[in-house]
Amino acid sequence: MYLEWNVAVDEENLMLRTFLRGKFVSKLLLTSVKFSEDGKIEVNGNEENVLYRVKAGDHVRITFPREQENERLIAEYGELPIVFEDDFILVLDKPAGMTSIPSQYHPSGSVANHLKGHYLRNNIDSAIHIVTRLDKETSGLMLIAKTRYAHGRLSTLHQTGHVTRKYQALVSGNMETRSGSIVAPIGRNPNSLIERAVVADGKYAKTNYDVLASYPTFDHVKIQLETGRTHQIRVHFAHVGHPLIGDSMYGGPTELVQRHALHSCHLELIHPFTEEKMAWDSELAPDLAAILAQYK
């Protein structure tokens, strides 16, 4: 894979490494190009080192080294609900019940397994970098980077608030306020290897919510995260006494649904290369929509 740019007048006389860093090529990526057999940096068709001073009108091209395939990852060839794909990113609408990555005791059936099969079937020379991982039982939109360049750029954008994720959830009981924020630090539950909890020495976490509709035993809420801690939505709503329905791990009732009622409904980002603003929406998953339909 390669990227290329033309040097603008106001970029003249920059060192090549500075020019490339301005194009969001990280120091780590530059190092990988320098010490690889198939990576190279060219200016006007000639290989140059990073100390070269660029001139206005120069054509700069960087060829990234081939990414190493995870040979232990089992390729699977089921259909993936892909909603967008180009050379840099892939967005899919994950069904509930599918893990993001395989584990020691469950080496197949994950998003990563199916992505490897998709790449092999379509002769796509890309690696799998999951940017917005979802829990197994959470449905909805997931963001995948197809190169280390895209992954690094999206990680930076994510950390600076330029990747927006919104969710819909069904939370037990009725919230006292129609909109608000839950701010509480999240860390590991000292009594569990898996669970998270609100703990004094946890990491800062903030969850914003709006109640879309109220029903006798639950609220339908829309959520926007300002941070991305593990199990954040589930932990925060359990902390304020309204665990997600179906979420037995955090005390939610399971009469209406057997998985935590959480759906990733909106994803918005700045494209890592074109810098175009892009957004996707996903309708509420059928099992959760069916619960709401019972009350209409």
pLDDT above 90 (res 233): yes
pLDDT bracket for residue 285 (50, 70, 90): very high
d(Cα 284, Cα 119) in Å, to the nearest integer? 28
Residue 149, pLDDT score? 83
d(Cα 227, Cα 229) in Å, to the nearest integer? 6
Residue 26, pLDDT score? 80
pLDDT tens by residue, 36-60:
778 899 999 999 989 999 999 999 9
Residue closest to 145 by CA, chosen among 160, 159, 133, 135: 133
Q: Which of 70-84, 169-183, 253-267 has the lowest mean pLDDT?
A: 70-84
pLDDT above 90 (res 156): no
Residue 228, pLDDT score? 85
Residue 104, pLDDT score? 83
- String of DSSP letters for 223-255: EEESS--TTHHHHHHHHTT-PBTT-GGGT---S
Q: Are 41 and 33 in contact (CB under 8 A)?
A: yes
Label residues 218-228 b or e (16+ Cβ within 10 Å = b). bbbbbbebeee
Instruction: Tell me which residues are annotated as active site.
Output: 135
Residue closest to 288 by CA, chosen among 215, 224, 233, 238: 215
pLDDT bracket for residue 235 (50, 70, 90): very high
- String of DSSP letters for 15-62: BHHHHHHHTT--HHHHHHHHT-SS-EEEETTEE--TTPBP-TT-EEEE
Which residue shows structure tokens 């301005």? 22
Residue 274, pLDDT score? 83
Which residue shows structure tokens 């175009």? 276
- Which tokens sit at 258? 């057997």
Provide the phi-psi class of 193: left if phi over 0, else alpha when psi is between -120 and 50, else beta. Answer: alpha
Q: Which of 15-29, 39-53, 208-222, 247-261 has the lowest mean pLDDT?
A: 15-29
Residue 284, pLDDT score? 97
Q: Which amino acid is it at 291?
A: I
- All structural domains of the chain: 2-63 (3.10.290), 165-264 (3.30.2350.10)
pLDDT above 80 (res 1): no
Residue 265, pLDDT score? 98
| Residues whose CB is less than 8 angstroms from the CB of residue 262 and which lie 6 or more positions away in sequence, other chains included | 135, 137, 138, 139, 167, 168, 169, 233, 234, 244, 247
pLDDT tens by residue, 86-108:
988 999 999 999 999 998 888 99
Residue 287, pLDDT score? 97
